[in-house]
Structure 1
Amino acid sequence: MMKFIVLVLGLGALANAAIAMGEAVAELDVNGDGMLSVSEVQAAYPDISAETFSEVDTNSDGALDDAELIAGQEQGLLPDMSVN
């Protein structure tokens, strides 16, 4: 039972981070596709290089989803976009 409670609490924390990140992405997401392109990221954060963007874009699809944004922030490659 204790493992279940810990799991539920952990999932709740992840959901809150994803919701906050989703709101930040919506503000930066010019084309409304729910993901951030290199040009959308650089419009808000011009110091982010194409190389850094590519490093964070782990699936190499040319766009950052919420999971990639969170991972990039945790690695210190991207600024905290949830406060903008």
Structure 2
Amino acid sequence: MQVKLFYKTQRELAVSLNEIVDAYWNDEINEDSLIKCVHDVYINNPNKMLKEGKFTTVLKQQCGKRRLEVIERIIRGGAEIRS
């Protein structure tokens, strides 16, 4: 799965995160790819994802609770990339 590392808007970022998580849920990518993609996107766009330690309103509206739970576990270190 090809993912951009830098996003212009929070809405574009949300669409990409949705695609990543949905691809994992549909067994199109494996767990390691999910973690790596979400981690890479977060490292390069932290201000578009979090404000004052919480997901931005745009991400909450566009991604939904279930996807954000997965994303939060990854960016908070709850899931590790296995080598």
TM-score, length of structure 2 as denominator length: 0.33
Question: Which of the pair has the greater relative contact order for Cα pairs under 8 Å at 6+ separation?
Answer: 2
Which of the pair has more CA radius of gyration?
Answer: 1
